[in-house]
Amino acid sequence: MTEQRTDHMKYMPGMEVLEDSDIGDRVIAAMKAYDYDKYTASDVKRALAAEYLSPDDFGALLSPAAEPFLEQIAERAKTETGKHFGNSVLLFTPLYIANYCENYCIYCGFNCHNKIRRAKLDSDAIRREMEAIAATGMEEVLILTGESRKMSDVRYIGEACRTAREYFKNVGVEVYPMNTDEYEYLHSCGADYVTVFQETYNSDKYETLHLAGHKRIFPYRLNAQERAIRGGMRGVAFAALLGLDDFRKDAFATGMHAYLLQRKYPHAEISFSCPRLRPIINNDKINPKDVHERQLLQVMCAYRIFMPFAGLTISTRERADFRDHVIGMCATKISAGVSTGIGEHSDENENEGDAQFEISDGRTLDEVIEGIRRRGLQPVLNDYVYIQ
């Protein structure tokens, strides 16, 4: 039985089209042209020696030819991180306020066919969560929802941002992609950066993973960061979920996406996240495209060297020791005191909804700060001022 699915390249009613932008097309063209097997050791050496890296140099650092050079790549990344960020490491906490989702993404714990407990915090519960997080000393919060316009509408998210402004100096959102005027509204409510994971830049693969819902519309998601910048957001974050498809191509596309947008909007603050699907350990069928820690580090360092001024957030999905080693080397931002369930921060709130994924580093803010200090780095709770 074949089911007729929505055309994933066709915008749904109400979705804003950026007629005047060619960024999405250019990213996809660059990714398609990226042939990582053509690079040699000498290309990698040249990239490592270049003062400013071209997209082609970035491609070389992501290639298999660069794998034997991982230590040198890490050294260069560490130098660049030091030059641009000194010893500082930024801290933040993600706060999940709802886990309703209208999308059917086959790899995600929140997907609409997964029978998990759904919840949406009301304004009092959100306030209690924020109070509890702020009481730990945290000054930056990232508000997350599942991707349901119906259950978590823009007003609801905006109100959460307003409350967050009372407790935190820096407020980000990681919610469903929206239109420019909606980003403008969230900015007026106090949010100043937007994270959207593209998951994979391969639209054919994307189509097979996102079977239903708004998220299925590939180009609308691809242009989210540009709409956010036009809506007045100070910063935008990019990520592919490495391992969904060919991670080298996805990492290259992620870098090019950030690179092209930064050239077009030089004032925008750029950052990367690096989530990955873990390979199955002890699997007989070893897949060369699996993203092990070595490959993850290669991607993170390549982002750092290609765009040395960009922020780079290390995911809570990674183990504590990995996270402690990559801060100061390539990562500049780390979460702490994380819970991916709904309503878990405050003792007064019931744990109302299930988590999106299991975290690998459950340390509190104090414990993470201690880990940062042990590495001779400086924990920074805020380096930012919100201007409306």
Partner 1 sequence: MEKNKKDTLVIGGHEFTSRFILGSGKYDPELIKAAVEHAGAQIITLALRRVNSFSGNILEHIPEGVTLLPNTSGARNAEEALKIALLAREAGCGSFIKIEVIHDSKYLLPDNYETAKACELLAKEGFIPLPYMYPDLNAARDMVNAGAAAIMPLAAPIGSNQGLATKQFIRILIEEIDLPIIVDAGIGKPSQACEAMEMGADAIMANTAIATAGDIVAMASAFRDAINAGRTAYLAGTGRVLDKASASSPLTGFLAD
Q: Token digits for 340?
A: 């991916």
CB of 81 to partner 1, least distance (A): 11
CB of 42 to partner 1, least distance (A): 8
Nearer of residues 215 and 257 to partner 1, judged by Cβ: 257
Nearer to partner 1, 33 or 135 (CB): 33
Q: Which of residues 26 and 205 has its CB atom nearest to partner 1 in the complex?
A: 26
Q: Site residues (CB under 8 A) for partner 1?
A: 42, 45-46, 48-49, 51-52, 56, 68-72, 74-75, 78, 263, 266, 278-279, 281, 292-294, 297, 319, 321-322, 325, 329
DSSP for 166-191? HH-SEEEEE-S---HHHHHHHHHTT-
Q: Residue 100 has which token pair?
A: 């309703």
CB of 297 to partner 1, least distance (A): 6
Residue 170 or 295: the one with the smaller Cβ distance to partner 1 is 295
CA distances from 199 to 81, 207, 210, 215, 266 (A): 26, 11, 10, 11, 25
Least CB distance to partner 1 at residue 294 (A) = 5
Residue 29 to residue 218: CA distance in whole angstroms: 15
DSSP-derived secondary structure letter, 276: B
Residue 18 φ/ψ, nearest 5 degrees = -90, 85
Task: For strands 104-105 and 210-212, give the pairing.
Answer: antiparallel
CB of 46 to partner 1, least distance (A): 6
Burial category of 256 from C-beta neighbours within 10 Å (exposed 0-12, middle 13-18, buried 19 and up): buried
Query: In the complex with partner 1, which residue's Cβ is closer, 96 or 259?
Result: 259
